[in-house]
Amino acid sequence: MIRLENVSKYYPTRYGPKYVLKNIQIDIPDDRDVALMGVNGAGKSTLMRLIGGVDFPSEGKIVSDRFISWPLALSSGFQGNMTGRENVRFICRIHGVRDTAEIEEFVKSFSELGEAFELPVSGYSSGMRSKYSFAVSMGFDFDTYLIDEIMAVGDESFKKKCEKAISEKRESSNIILVSHSMSTIRKHCNAAILLAYGRAEFYESVDRAIFRYQSL
Protein backbone atom coordinates (compact mmCIF):
# COMPACT_ATOMS: atom_id res chain seq x y z
CA MET A 1 0.00 0.00 0.00
CA ILE A 2 1.11 3.54 -0.81
CA ARG A 3 -0.62 5.98 1.54
CA LEU A 4 -0.72 9.74 1.05
CA GLU A 5 -1.54 11.46 4.32
CA ASN A 6 -2.72 15.06 3.83
CA VAL A 7 -0.08 15.65 1.17
CA SER A 8 0.28 19.15 -0.22
CA LYS A 9 2.84 20.55 -2.62
CA TYR A 10 3.25 24.25 -3.20
CA TYR A 11 5.86 26.61 -4.58
CA PRO A 12 6.55 30.10 -3.24
CA THR A 13 5.64 33.05 -5.44
CA ARG A 14 5.65 36.79 -4.90
CA TYR A 15 1.91 36.51 -4.28
CA GLY A 16 2.23 33.69 -1.75
CA PRO A 17 2.33 29.89 -2.04
CA LYS A 18 1.00 28.37 -5.27
CA TYR A 19 -0.48 24.95 -4.54
CA VAL A 20 -0.15 22.18 -7.12
CA LEU A 21 -1.61 19.54 -4.78
CA LYS A 22 -3.57 20.25 -1.60
CA ASN A 23 -4.45 17.92 1.27
CA ILE A 24 -4.33 14.70 -0.75
CA GLN A 25 -5.57 11.80 1.37
CA ILE A 26 -5.60 8.60 -0.66
CA ASP A 27 -4.50 4.95 -0.56
CA ILE A 28 -3.05 3.26 -3.63
CA PRO A 29 -3.49 -0.53 -3.36
CA ASP A 30 -0.71 -2.95 -4.26
CA ASP A 31 -2.89 -5.15 -6.47
CA ARG A 32 -4.08 -2.51 -8.94
CA ASP A 33 -2.47 -0.89 -11.97
CA VAL A 34 -3.39 2.75 -11.52
CA ALA A 35 -3.68 5.57 -14.06
CA LEU A 36 -2.95 9.13 -12.93
CA MET A 37 -5.28 11.38 -14.90
CA GLY A 38 -5.84 15.11 -15.11
CA VAL A 39 -5.56 18.07 -17.45
CA ASN A 40 -2.19 19.71 -18.10
CA GLY A 41 -0.99 21.37 -14.92
CA ALA A 42 -3.16 19.23 -12.63
CA GLY A 43 -0.09 17.87 -10.83
CA LYS A 44 0.33 14.39 -12.33
CA SER A 45 4.09 14.53 -12.80
CA THR A 46 4.48 16.32 -9.46
CA LEU A 47 2.62 13.52 -7.70
CA MET A 48 4.76 10.93 -9.50
CA ARG A 49 7.93 12.63 -8.28
CA LEU A 50 6.60 12.71 -4.73
CA ILE A 51 5.66 9.02 -4.77
CA GLY A 52 9.05 8.14 -6.27
CA GLY A 53 10.94 10.13 -3.64
CA VAL A 54 12.47 12.46 -6.20
CA ASP A 55 10.71 15.41 -4.54
CA PHE A 56 9.16 15.92 -1.10
CA PRO A 57 5.75 17.15 0.05
CA SER A 58 5.48 20.67 1.39
CA GLU A 59 3.03 19.30 3.94
CA GLY A 60 1.92 15.80 4.96
CA LYS A 61 3.72 12.56 4.27
CA ILE A 62 3.79 9.49 2.02
CA VAL A 63 4.01 6.11 3.75
CA SER A 64 4.80 2.83 1.99
CA ASP A 65 6.68 -0.42 2.42
CA ARG A 66 6.94 -0.81 -1.37
CA PHE A 67 10.19 -0.73 -3.39
CA ILE A 68 9.17 2.07 -5.76
CA SER A 69 10.95 3.09 -8.95
CA TRP A 70 11.80 6.65 -9.89
CA PRO A 71 9.50 8.03 -12.66
CA LEU A 72 10.60 6.17 -15.77
CA ALA A 73 10.45 9.29 -17.94
CA LEU A 74 12.87 11.06 -15.58
CA SER A 75 16.28 11.28 -17.24
CA SER A 76 17.73 14.18 -15.25
CA GLY A 77 18.87 12.15 -12.24
CA PHE A 78 22.06 10.83 -13.83
CA GLN A 79 25.55 12.22 -13.37
CA GLY A 80 26.35 13.85 -16.69
CA ASN A 81 30.13 13.49 -16.47
CA MET A 82 29.83 9.74 -15.81
CA THR A 83 29.35 7.16 -18.53
CA GLY A 84 26.23 5.07 -18.96
CA ARG A 85 28.01 2.13 -17.36
CA GLU A 86 29.31 4.19 -14.45
CA ASN A 87 25.85 5.58 -13.75
CA VAL A 88 24.44 2.05 -13.62
CA ARG A 89 27.10 1.04 -11.11
CA PHE A 90 26.39 4.14 -9.03
CA ILE A 91 22.63 3.49 -8.95
CA CYS A 92 23.21 -0.17 -8.10
CA ARG A 93 25.29 0.79 -5.10
CA ILE A 94 22.60 3.22 -3.91
CA HIS A 95 20.16 0.30 -3.93
CA GLY A 96 22.59 -2.08 -2.24
CA VAL A 97 23.45 -4.18 -5.33
CA ARG A 98 27.11 -5.19 -5.17
CA ASP A 99 27.37 -7.49 -8.19
CA THR A 100 26.50 -5.03 -10.95
CA ALA A 101 27.76 -6.84 -14.06
CA GLU A 102 24.45 -8.48 -15.01
CA ILE A 103 22.49 -5.24 -14.70
CA GLU A 104 25.16 -3.32 -16.64
CA GLU A 105 24.94 -5.69 -19.60
CA PHE A 106 21.14 -5.74 -19.46
CA VAL A 107 20.98 -1.93 -19.64
CA LYS A 108 23.50 -1.77 -22.46
CA SER A 109 21.59 -4.34 -24.50
CA PHE A 110 18.07 -3.09 -23.78
CA SER A 111 18.87 0.59 -24.37
CA GLU A 112 20.46 -0.16 -27.76
CA LEU A 113 23.12 2.47 -27.05
CA GLY A 114 26.05 0.40 -28.31
CA GLU A 115 29.39 2.15 -27.83
CA ALA A 116 27.62 5.24 -26.43
CA PHE A 117 27.09 3.23 -23.24
CA GLU A 118 30.78 3.86 -22.49
CA LEU A 119 30.46 7.62 -23.07
CA PRO A 120 29.34 10.39 -20.67
CA VAL A 121 25.57 10.65 -20.30
CA SER A 122 25.77 14.43 -20.86
CA GLY A 123 26.41 13.72 -24.54
CA TYR A 124 23.24 11.66 -25.01
CA SER A 125 20.37 13.03 -27.05
CA SER A 126 16.97 13.29 -25.33
CA GLY A 127 15.87 10.08 -27.07
CA MET A 128 19.00 8.23 -25.95
CA ARG A 129 18.54 9.43 -22.37
CA SER A 130 14.92 8.29 -22.32
CA LYS A 131 15.84 4.85 -23.63
CA TYR A 132 18.68 4.66 -21.13
CA SER A 133 16.45 5.72 -18.23
CA PHE A 134 13.85 3.10 -19.13
CA ALA A 135 16.49 0.39 -19.47
CA VAL A 136 18.01 1.24 -16.07
CA SER A 137 14.58 1.02 -14.45
CA MET A 138 13.91 -2.35 -16.05
CA GLY A 139 17.20 -3.61 -14.62
CA PHE A 140 15.70 -3.57 -11.11
CA ASP A 141 12.82 -5.62 -9.70
CA PHE A 142 10.69 -2.86 -8.21
CA ASP A 143 7.38 -3.52 -6.47
CA THR A 144 5.82 -0.49 -8.16
CA TYR A 145 6.90 1.10 -11.42
CA LEU A 146 6.14 4.79 -12.06
CA ILE A 147 5.62 5.34 -15.77
CA ASP A 148 5.27 8.88 -17.15
CA GLU A 149 4.54 8.65 -20.90
CA ILE A 150 7.77 6.68 -21.36
CA MET A 151 6.16 4.08 -23.63
CA ALA A 152 5.92 6.75 -26.33
CA VAL A 153 9.74 6.85 -26.60
CA GLY A 154 11.62 5.64 -29.66
CA ASP A 155 10.55 3.90 -32.84
CA GLU A 156 7.79 1.31 -33.07
CA SER A 157 10.19 -1.54 -32.39
CA PHE A 158 11.44 0.05 -29.17
CA LYS A 159 7.91 0.93 -28.05
CA LYS A 160 6.89 -2.71 -28.43
CA LYS A 161 9.95 -3.78 -26.45
CA CYS A 162 9.02 -1.35 -23.68
CA GLU A 163 5.46 -2.64 -23.51
CA LYS A 164 6.68 -6.25 -23.45
CA ALA A 165 9.11 -5.46 -20.61
CA ILE A 166 6.39 -3.73 -18.60
CA SER A 167 4.00 -6.63 -19.15
CA GLU A 168 6.61 -9.06 -17.83
CA LYS A 169 7.30 -6.88 -14.77
CA ARG A 170 3.58 -6.65 -14.03
CA GLU A 171 3.47 -10.38 -13.36
CA SER A 172 5.00 -9.62 -9.96
CA SER A 173 4.64 -5.82 -9.70
CA ASN A 174 2.11 -3.08 -10.28
CA ILE A 175 2.34 0.20 -12.17
CA ILE A 176 1.25 3.79 -11.73
CA LEU A 177 0.89 5.31 -15.19
CA VAL A 178 0.58 8.85 -16.50
CA SER A 179 -0.65 9.01 -20.08
CA HIS A 180 -2.81 11.28 -22.22
CA SER A 181 -3.84 8.28 -24.32
CA MET A 182 -7.13 6.82 -23.17
CA SER A 183 -6.47 3.63 -25.14
CA THR A 184 -3.13 3.18 -23.32
CA ILE A 185 -4.82 3.73 -19.96
CA ARG A 186 -7.58 1.23 -20.77
CA LYS A 187 -5.01 -1.31 -21.95
CA HIS A 188 -2.67 -1.13 -18.95
CA CYS A 189 -4.74 0.06 -15.97
CA ASN A 190 -7.63 -1.29 -13.90
CA ALA A 191 -8.04 1.69 -11.54
CA ALA A 192 -7.44 5.42 -11.72
CA ILE A 193 -6.77 8.56 -9.73
CA LEU A 194 -8.23 11.76 -11.15
CA LEU A 195 -6.45 14.98 -10.21
CA ALA A 196 -8.45 18.18 -10.49
CA TYR A 197 -8.24 21.55 -8.73
CA GLY A 198 -5.45 20.27 -6.49
CA ARG A 199 -7.54 17.35 -5.23
CA ALA A 200 -7.44 13.62 -5.96
CA GLU A 201 -10.18 11.00 -6.23
CA PHE A 202 -9.65 7.25 -6.55
CA TYR A 203 -11.79 5.29 -9.04
CA GLU A 204 -12.24 1.54 -9.10
CA SER A 205 -13.51 1.89 -12.68
CA VAL A 206 -11.18 3.25 -15.36
CA ASP A 207 -14.12 3.98 -17.65
CA ARG A 208 -15.79 6.04 -14.92
CA ALA A 209 -12.57 8.01 -14.36
CA ILE A 210 -12.23 8.66 -18.09
CA PHE A 211 -15.84 9.88 -18.23
CA ARG A 212 -15.22 12.31 -15.37
CA TYR A 213 -11.89 13.42 -16.88
CA GLN A 214 -13.47 14.15 -20.26
CA SER A 215 -16.17 16.24 -18.58
CA LEU A 216 -13.69 18.59 -16.86
Structural domain boundaries in the chain: 1-69+142-216, 74-141
Q: Does the model's pTM come out above 0.85? A: yes
* Model confidence pLDDT, tens digit, residues 38-78: 999 999 999 999 999 989 999 999 999 999 998 876 666 78
pLDDT of residue 94: 87
CATH code at 1-69+142-216: 3.40.50.300
Mutual angle of helices 84-94 and 101-111, in 10-degree steps: 130
Helices (H), the chain: 44-51, 84-94, 101-111, 126-138, 156-169, 182-188, 206-214
Question: Which pLDDT score, from 0 to 100, does residue 166 have?
Answer: 85
pLDDT at 74: 60
Identify the band that residue 192 occupies on the pLDDT scale cut at 50, 70 and 90: very high
- What is residue 151's predicted lDDT score, i.e. its pLDDT? 59
Q: How far is CA 86 from CA 77, 105, 110, 121, in A?
A: 13, 12, 16, 9
Q: In which band, very low, low, confident or very high, does the pLDDT at 194 lie, cut at 50, 70 and 90?
A: very high
Q: What is the pLDDT of residue 201?
A: 95
Q: How do residues 92-138 score in pLDDT, each as one tens digit?
A: 998 888 899 999 999 999 999 999 999 999 999 988 988 898 899 89
Is residue 152 over pLDDT 70? Answer: no
Q: Indicate the average pLDDT of the chain.
A: 91
What pLDDT shows up at residue 37?
96
Categorize the per-residue pLDDT at 29 as very low, low, confident or very high, splitting at 50, 70 and 90.
very high
Return phi, psi of residue 17, to 5°.
Answer: -65, 135
If you compute the radius of gyration of the chain from its CA atoms, what whole number of angstroms results? 18
Share of the chain above pLDDT 70, in %: 95
- The 10s digit of each residue's pLDDT in 1-17 is 999 999 999 999 999 99
In single-letter form, the type of residue at position 106 comes to F
Q: What is the pLDDT of residues 82-94, one digit of tens each?
A: 999 999 999 999 8
